[in-house]
Every structure is written in C-alpha cells, then in structure tokens.
Amino acid sequence: MYELAASLSKEDGLVLGELGSVLLGLGIAAYIASRIRLSVVPIFLLAGLFFGNGGIVALDLSDEFLDLGAQWGAILLLLLLGLEYSAQELFESVKKRKSLGAVDLVVNFLPGAALGFILGWGFLGALTLGGITYVSSSGIASKFIKDSRLESRESTRRAVGVLVIEDLFLAPYLPVLSALLASLGVATGLISISIALIVTGIALLIGARGFHIPHAPLVMGDSATLLLTVFGSALLASGVATYFGFSGAVAAFLVGLLLTGDVAIVARVRLAPLRDLFSAIFFLFFGLSVDPADIPSVLIPASVLALIGVFTKWVTAWWAVRDLQEDNAIWRAAVLLIPRGEFSMVIAGLAATSLFAVELQALTLTYVILTTLFASIIMRTVHSKAPNLEL
C-alpha cells in the first residue's frame, strides 16, 4: 500500500486534488440548493459539463477513468433503487392502479418515441427516447417529499404509486433494451432477449411469492458485513451480466429487487446515506462525459420535449388525484412526477455504443436539467402562495 502511494506522480496528486475540490464544491452547492428548495441534480450535471472535456475548466481525466466512474455510480445507484421496493409491493401497486399506470405510460412514452422517429433514430432510438421521457425520478421525488414533509398526503401516496409502477415497467424494459442495443444477430438477439425476460421474470416471481431472506444479526449484524455482502453480490451480478453482453447496472437493479425480507429492510436503512453520494457521483460523471459543444444542436428539441413532459406528467397527476378534495393536489402530485433523473440517464447510458449516442446523451442531459428545474420552480411557486402550509 505504501509503495502504491509512493508511486503516484505529482500529476496524479493534482488530479486527486482537482476531484476533491470539485466534490467539496458540490457539497457546498448541494447545501445551498437544499436551503432554497432547488434540486441538486441540475447542479451536478452542470458541474460535469463545466469540468468535463470541452468544458470551461477541464479536468485531466482519462476516458477509462470516466467510464469506470460512471459505471460504478450507475451500478451502486441502481442497486439502492432496486432496494426501495420489493416485487410484492410493485405488483400490489399495479393491481390497485392499472388504469393510472396505462395512462402514465401512453401519454409520457409516446412523445419521446415520436421525437426519436422524427430525428431519424429509427425504432431503437424511439424505444430508448420513449423510456427516457416516460420514467420519473424516484430519487428527486423522495427528496421533495422529505424536504416539504409531504409523507402524510394522499396525493403523495398516489404519486408514489405511479413511481412504483414505473419501476416495475423498467424491470423488463431495461434488460430487453440492453439486449436490443447490443446489435446482435437475429438468433443471438432473440436468445439474449429471452434470457433477459426469464431472469427478470424469476426475480419478480421470487419477490411476488413473498420469498423471505431472514436477517441473522450474528452473520450480518454489522454494517461492514452487510455492505460487503450486498455490494459484492451486485458487483458479481454486474460482472457476469457485462461478460455475457448485458448491462451491469440493470443486473444490480435486479439484485436490489431480489433482496427481500429483513435483509432488504436493514440494507435500506444502513445504505440510505450512501444513496445521495452515489447519485452525485453518477450525475457528475454523466455530465463529464458530455461535450458542452453538443448541447446547442439539441437545445430546441430538448426544450420542446421538456415542456411536453411537464404537461404529460400533469395529466398523469390529474388522473391520479382527480377525485381528491385536497388543495393543490394536482400540482403537488405533478411536482413529484415531472422531474426525470437517474433512470433517464441510465437509459441514455445503455445506448452509449449506438449511432445516435452523442446526440441522445446531450439531449437527455438537457432534458433532465430542464424538467428538474421546472419542477423546482413549480414547487417554490406553489409554496410561496401558501407559505404557512405544506406544499
């Protein structure tokens, strides 16, 4: 270890210092954002653009380092997202709100799919961009709920139900999309998709059947053991999936869904503080991978798509709470559904080897920033109209 530390050059030390300064700055920015009720996601993405290749102050980071950092961030973030719900909870939400899930899928998936065809990206581009515009950010929504103390609201519970249904949709969607984007032959592609669906089905079936993993305090009682076991399982699954041509991040998500019972409960509690850290790393590295020079060419379609996305999520919110008598119920639910974030970025990352990857990543980054800013502005506006009430 000492030899390894001694072998680091002055340039390596400079890179470490630069990264430390960036993370320290992001911590301060995140604190300020929380005080003014603004999501930190746009800040992390803009910081990535600022310090990435082509940015104003470019960090001296290799492509290998950026790719590895983005993959680690995605794997760990999706693992924790998978831990948020059990498969049994997912299926129960679908049973209660079938029509709501259908409305949400149709009105939010179609605009992205249509733009994919308009931009000439073909079926795969439409399928990818449709998923990006469809899925809301569970991470941002949970932060909004916590900051505004909305846990007890019925409109909040219904909005969370929408997020749960979207997570269930992503369970088969992500593996299938990953297999399709791998550009395999017809026979190999069908086999890969079949395997992806089978693995996903098994994961969901185990959870839906109430398979219980007991938490043995003598075995997994300390945080170190739990961290090593859960992270090791996710990384092992990700490595195997990557070796066979699937997405490692998707595999980590399925591992999170598979962990049920006491182990999942304990893991959620003990790993919760790390979620924001992994989220920050993921968004920062995604921003570092995008060249700011690619943004102007997609600014108009991203802006139009963001405005449509605000409206379509408002439609979903209206459908969800149309029978409630709460004040601002529609906008309260809409604020939680409008932001797109981690899953949209993951979907764009899956298409990293596609012909439209550069445009897609720039468009997705811009789209996520705009929808998140719109949601933050709406939240502040509604709150300012009733400063003595919860949002």
234 vs 374, residue with greater confidence: 374
Band of pLDDT at residue 303, cut at 50, 70 and 90: very high
Q: Is the pLDDT of residue 29 over 80?
A: no
Going 51 to 55 to 58 to 64, the CA torsion angle's sign is positive
**Res 286: pLDDT:** 79
Give CA angle at 152 (147, 158), nearest 5°: 95
**Res 366: pLDDT:** 93
Q: Is the pLDDT of residue 389 over 70?
A: no
**Res 282: pLDDT:** 76
**Res 127: pLDDT:** 93
Residues 72, 41: Cα–Cα separation, whole Å: 18
Q: Give the pLDDT mean for 178-192.
A: 62
pLDDT digits (tens, 9 = 90+) for 69-113: 666 777 777 777 677 665 566 566 566 666 788 899 999 999 999
Q: Is the pLDDT of residue 381 over 50?
A: yes
- The whole-chain average pLDDT of the chain stands at 76
Band of pLDDT at residue 260, cut at 50, 70 and 90: low
Whether this prediction's pTM lies above 0.85 is answered by: no
Q: Is the pLDDT of residue 228 over 60?
A: yes
CATH code, residues 14-385: 1.20.1530.20
pLDDT digits (tens, 9 = 90+) for 138-149: 777 877 777 667
Among 56-65, 213-222, 301-310, which stretch is predicted with the lowest mean pLDDT?
Answer: 213-222
pLDDT digits (tens, 9 = 90+) for 35-75: 777 777 888 888 878 877 666 766 666 566 666 666 677 77
Q: Which of 212, 224, 203 is nearest to 263 (CA)?
A: 212
Residue 85 CB: number of other CB atoms within 10 A?
Answer: 23
**Res 371: pLDDT:** 93
Within 8 A by CB and 6+ apart from 53, the residues are 288, 291
Band of pLDDT at residue 226, cut at 50, 70 and 90: confident
